[in-house]
Structure 1
Amino acid sequence: MKLTVIGFWGGYPKQNAASSGYLLEHEGFQLLIDCGSGVLSKLQNIIQPEELDAVLLSHYHPDHIADIGVLQHARLIQGLLGKKTPNLPLYGHDLDSYEFSKLTYKEITKGVAYHPGEIHTVGPFQVSFLKTDHPVPCYAMRIEAAGKAIVYTADSSFKDEFIEFGQNADLLLCECNFYGHQNGKSAGHMNSIDAGKFAQKAGVKKLILTHLPHYGSVSELITEASSEFTGIIMLAEEFQTISL
């Protein structure tokens, strides 16, 4: 598996950047995980929108889905220009029926509901889901292929269920919207200490901090997380790639 960070800012993208979006590739299958503001512009430095095979969405806050409409129109326009593409599956939860309904657009995209407790096959990937603690329904994902596992927390405050869900993952892509001295629980987010504890207790091999705050020195997040986690810690960066 190869993961490429497209966008990593929380809430909104910084100048010339993008909010949540990650490209996961394996055996020629190209899966986009979340599609926040600025993601479609940045994605085109790597692949074109019509080359995607599927999209996984954690929840329906704009910083995770703002470019879905843009993606739909990109594929529509390319189809009109002669690049006919199959109906693109957009995987999301159906606990918000209005937002879920917008995932289906003409013959361009098709909304596909996922549910916790079920393992979904998406191309070469086996994907399981865990509902997170966030102000709106949101799901973390465990994605497995070729004996490797990536866990993406999406947005959540810390919860004990994460430990089993993330057990022995090769890579933990963990939200870190707050610094260690701040409590993000009421906002439904983790801080750097939470992320480090999660990684250490789950026994993951590598921790990448993402969904980063817009203020302060984000390099401090690594120092703070390392007080709990003894493994490899990195900050998400644009076009950063991790091969497993």
Structure 2
Amino acid sequence: MECRVIGMWGGFPKKNGPCSGYLIQHEEFSLLIDCGSGVLPELQNYIDLNDINHVILTHYHYDHYSDIGAYLFSRLVNTQLGRVAEELYVYGPEDEGIQKQVEDVAYSRFISFNETNQLDIGPFTCTFMRNIHPVETYSIKIVCDNKSIVFTSDTSFMSNLISFAANSDLLITECSLYEGMDGEGSGHMNSRDAGMLAYQSKAKRVLLTHLPHYGDLDDLLVSAKNQGNQHIKLAESGMLIEL
């Protein structure tokens, strides 16, 4: 199993720097986690859009899902041209508006999930945990061949995350704020929170993501590592993690 970081900026994309998007692959099966602003053009540097099998959206803030509309149209056109014959499945929290948006486009289907569900998608087993965020949002655990990837998506710190991410081979944790900043009101973690999660969960490798557009990002890394886990890096667009 491998994970390619497509984008990792919080809120809005930078020039040539997309928001949240992660390509998870194993034995030619491809799963896209989130499809935020700027993800679709960057994604095509690494995979043909027709070769993605399924998409999971963690929630419906623009920096996590806004490019899905364009992607649905891509699959419609390419299906009509005979370049792809497989329906596109989009998974996300239950939402009538999003379901209509997806299923109004031919060759696409929407399937909702919540924290009680286990989804077996190709070679991946996916489970979910409800986050603390202004809209319904989920952390995801993806397991394949005894390897695990946990993506927190957007959330303030909560103790349940520690057990959810326990001993993960790769933890992708949001890190929207600098140490000393309070993320509870906005439903985000600061660098100390992310570092505590990395240390207490005993994650083997950690990426800080959902990064802020201000300040010195290296300060996030120093703060997170100071909590005890030294296997932490800043996510970068194009970064490939092989498990």
TM-score (ref. length: structure 2):
0.97
2:22 maps to: 22
Task: Say if 2:222 is the partner of 1:243.
Answer: no
The structural deviation recorded for 1:117 is: 2.3
Structure 1 outlier segments of 4+, above 4 Å: none
The structural deviation recorded for 1:8 is: 0.4
The structural deviation recorded for 1:79 is: 2.3
1:11 maps to: 11
The DSSP-based 3-state class of the residue aligned with 1:185 is coil
**Is the Cα–Cα contact under 8 Å of residues 127 and 143 in structure 1 kept in the other structure?**
yes
Task: Name the CA distance, whole Å, in 2 between partners of 1:190 and 1:108.
Answer: 37
Task: Name the CA distance, whole Å, in 2 between partners of 1:84 and 1:241.
Answer: 26
Task: Name the CA distance, whole Å, in 2 between partners of 1:186 and 1:229.
Answer: 26
The structural deviation recorded for 1:185 is: 1.0
**Is the Cα–Cα contact under 8 Å of residues 59 and 139 in structure 1 kept in the other structure?**
yes
2:185 maps to: 186
The DSSP-based 3-state class of the residue aligned with 2:194 is helix
Task: Name the CA distance, whole Å, in 2 between partners of 1:127 and 1:118.
Answer: 8
2:226 maps to: 227
Task: Name the CA distance, whole Å, in 1 between partners of 2:103 and 2:201.
Answer: 36
The DSSP-based 3-state class of the residue aligned with 2:36 is coil
Task: Name the CA distance, whole Å, in 2 between partners of 1:62 and 1:230.
Answer: 31
- The amino acid of 1:144's aligned partner reads V
Task: Name the CA distance, whole Å, in 2 between partners of 1:61 and 1:168.
Answer: 29
1:56 maps to: 56
The structural deviation recorded for 1:7 is: 0.5
**Is the Cα–Cα contact under 8 Å of residues 73 and 105 in structure 2 kept in the other structure?**
no
The DSSP-based 3-state class of the residue aligned with 2:197 is helix
Q: What whole-Å deviation, never above 9, does each CA across 1:118-152 have from its counterpart, x for those lacking one?
A: 21101100000000000000000000000001100
List alignment gaps of at least 5 residues for structure 2.
none
Task: Name the CA distance, whole Å, in 1 between partners of 2:218 and 2:178.
Answer: 10
Q: Tell me which moved more, 202-211 or 73-82.
A: 73-82
Task: Name the CA distance, whole Å, in 1 between partners of 2:68 and 2:105.
Answer: 14
1:83 maps to: 83
Task: Say if 2:111 is the partner of 1:112.
Answer: yes
**Is the Cα–Cα contact under 8 Å of residues 128 and 141 in structure 1 kept in the other structure?**
yes
**Is the Cα–Cα contact under 8 Å of residues 93 and 100 in structure 1 kept in the other structure?**
no
CA RMSD of aligned residues (A): 1.1
Identity in percent: 42
Task: Name the CA distance, whole Å, in 1 between partners of 2:105 and 2:211.
Answer: 35
- The number of equivalent residue pairs is 243
Task: Name the CA distance, whole Å, in 2 between partners of 1:61 and 1:97.
Answer: 15
Task: Name the CA distance, whole Å, in 2 between partners of 1:189 and 1:8.
Answer: 14
TM-score (ref. length: structure 1):
0.97
Task: Say if 2:147 is the partner of 1:148.
Answer: yes
2:102 maps to: 103
Task: Name the CA distance, whole Å, in 1 between partners of 2:82 and 2:99.
Answer: 28
**Is the Cα–Cα contact under 8 Å of residues 114 and 130 in structure 2 kept in the other structure?**
no
Task: Name the CA distance, whole Å, in 1 between partners of 2:114 and 2:19.
Answer: 25
The structural deviation recorded for 1:114 is: 1.4
1:132 maps to: 131
The structural deviation recorded for 1:108 is: 2.2
**Is the Cα–Cα contact under 8 Å of residues 118 and 126 in structure 2 kept in the other structure?**
yes
The DSSP-based 3-state class of the residue aligned with 2:3 is strand
The DSSP-based 3-state class of the residue aligned with 1:103 is helix
The structural deviation recorded for 1:85 is: 2.6
The DSSP-based 3-state class of the residue aligned with 2:111 is strand
List alignment gaps of at least 5 residues for structure 1.
none
The structural deviation recorded for 1:87 is: 1.0
The structural deviation recorded for 1:104 is: 2.1
